[in-house]
Amino acid sequence: MSYLILVRHGQSVWNLEKKFTGWVDVELTENGQLEAKKAGQLIKKENIEINLYYSSFQLRAKNTLKIIQEELKDFKKVISAWELNERHYGALTGLNKDEMKVKIGEEKVHQFRRSWDLRPEPLDKKNPYHPINIETYKGIPLEKIPDTESLKDTYERVIKFYSKEIEHKSNENILISAHGNSIRALCKYLFNLDDNEISKLEIPTGNPLLIELENSKISNCKYLDQERAKDLLVF
């Protein structure tokens, strides 16, 4: 048996401010740091030795994982991959979700957030929030950096990376620190969810999802913080 642990980063500054964040690099709030600390404590109670750690390129995921490792007293090297980044929200980036509900309607905002293949308008490359203007992404080839993404686009880059770099390591215990939509993409793949089911899946911040694998097949899964668990749609 092996384990895969998926952790959405703790609450970020823009989560708190209800902004579309996407690829913008923002820090954790104090509450987000506490969520990450509790995540580490919950993982520690499971007494699982983590063999490999993965994170997106983004600070909120990296810092969540750093806090978790501090709780585990385990400082193995972290493999960072931009492919695990949050979905790029295009022209919505930096805008307030509640204000956009008033401006374009709640249903349209819900479609942008939860639909499978709907992309927001592209973000202007001159915008300071565009990834080409953010130092974190200077090492990524320009042709790989999106102007906007649907969940389908996010799924394709996340699963391409997962299939190539992680899936075959079936005897290792692996922890991935990532984002709401990149983890939703992984869940769609792992649990074979259809396009409608994935639109209903909500990933809580800082709550480890522990997946048990036998012969590369999922035998069980659970959120470690049951008080903050969301429906898994499976199991």
List residues with catalytic annotation: 9, 86
Q: Are 207 and 228 in contact (CB under 8 A)?
A: yes
Hey, what amino acid is at 2?
S
| Short-list 185, 234, 179, CA closest to 212 | 234
Q: Using alpha carbons, list the distances in angstroms from residue 39 to 29, 157, 211.
A: 15, 26, 15
> What's the CA gap between 17 and 87, in Å, rounded?
18
> What's the CA gap between 172 and 67, in Å, rounded?
21
Give burial (CB, 10 Å; 0-12/13-18/19+) of 109: buried
> What's the CA gap between 24 and 100, in Å, rounded?
18
| Short-list 174, 5, 143, 155, CA closest to 79 | 174
Q: Are 224 and 188 in contact (CB under 8 A)?
A: no
Hey, what amino acid is at 110?
H
Query: What distance separates the 2 farthest-apart alpha carbons in the chain?
Result: 50
Please give the backbone phi and psi of residue 111, each rounded to the nearest 5 degrees, phi first.
-60, -45
